[in-house]
Chains A and B, each alone.
Chain A
Amino acid sequence: SQQGEEDPQALSIQEGENATMNCSYKTSINNLQWYRQNSGRGLVHLILIRSNEREKHSGRLRVTLDTSKKSSSLLITASRAADTASYFCATDGWDKVIFGPGTSLSVIP
């Protein structure tokens, strides 16, 4: 399976701290995406990083990609209570996006 696997499954931090989530995958990819999902809602696209990119930033988000290790990380800096959500990495399969199991992030005010 080319499915990404997130680590940790759950993460609880204090507001203001940084949160780091990791994603590993098994086969070569063209791109990797991160999505956020608030409880019971639709997914929101956060960032897409291509296989020839090593790092990408968007506001308080920083994504890295290491294709040699087949892994990616999502860093959320200066976390806020509103960042509480599930975060999924998604890798590109042959003709579709495949979502990993997700990391549940709780940011405690």
Chain B
Amino acid sequence: DTEVTQTPKHLVMGMTNKKSLKCEQHMGHRAMYWYKQKAKKPPELMFVYSYEKLSINESVPSRFSPECPNSSLLNLHLHALQPEDSALYLCASSQDPRQGTETQYFGPGTRLLVL
């Protein structure tokens, strides 16, 4: 299984809502990533988990809260988002966090719209 899955595919939420994005991989990868991508822009790294521990937080606002319950799952909890947070949120994984710049496998993304 070489697939990273993400749910939901689409999400519309108000600025007072709380929602969560979910990512799952069963490739035995020990590094997992959250990226944010705006239209016609490259992905921007948000968080990196290495062996289920948060290793990189790219100064992301606290309204985004990541969680890694186990080595296969990665969540992104959303609360009190702003309209400018509307974007495609991509999850990725890679085999060995000690080689964090190796090939990453991406999920299809969650398209988020904040009203």
For B109, list chain A residues within 8 Å (CB): 40-42
Stretch at the interface among B42-50, B60-68, B70-78: B42-50
Please name the residue on chain A nearest to B98 by beta carbon: A95
Interface of A is mostly: strand
Q: Interface size (A, Cβ < 8 Å)?
A: 22
Please name the residue on chain A nearest to B101 by beta carbon: A92
Chain B residues numbered 66-97 whose CB sits less than 8 Å from any CB in chain A: 88, 90, 92
Please name the residue on chain B nearest to A44 by beta carbon: B106
Asked whether, in the complex, the Cβ of A97 is within 8 Å of the Cβ of B101, the reply is yes
Residue A30 CB within 8 A of the other chain: yes
Asked whether, in the complex, the Cβ of A101 is within 8 Å of the Cβ of B104, the reply is no
Residue B17 CB within 8 A of the other chain: no
Asked whether, in the complex, the Cβ of A42 is within 8 Å of the Cβ of B108, the reply is yes
Asked whether, in the complex, the Cβ of B106 is within 8 Å of the Cβ of A43, the reply is yes
Task: Report the bound CA distance from A101 to B108 in whole Å.
Answer: 19
Please name the residue on chain A nearest to B6 by beta carbon: A42
Q: Interface size (B, Cβ < 8 Å)?
A: 24
Binding site for A on B (CB under 8 A): 4, 6, 40-43, 45, 48, 55-56, 88, 90, 92, 100-109, 111
Chain A residues numbered 54-109 whose CB sits less than 8 Å from any CB in chain B: 88, 92-93, 95-97, 99-102, 104
Q: Kindly provide the distance from the CB of B94 to the nearest chain A CB, expressed in whole angstroms.
A: 9
Q: Kindly provide the distance from the CB of A26 to the nearest chain B CB, expressed in whole angstroms.
A: 16
**Which residue of B88, B101, B103 contacts A30 across the interface (Cβ within 8 Å)?**
B101
Asked whether, in the complex, the Cβ of A45 is within 8 Å of the Cβ of B56, the reply is no
For A95, list chain B residues within 8 Å (CB): 48, 55-56, 100-101
**Which residue of B40, B90, B104 contacts A97 across the interface (Cβ within 8 Å)?**
B104
Q: Kindly provide the distance from the CB of B58 to the nearest chain A CB, expressed in whole angstroms.
A: 8
Asked whether, in the complex, the Cβ of A96 is within 8 Å of the Cβ of B107, the reply is no
Task: Report the bound CA distance from A31 to B43 in whole Å.
Answer: 18
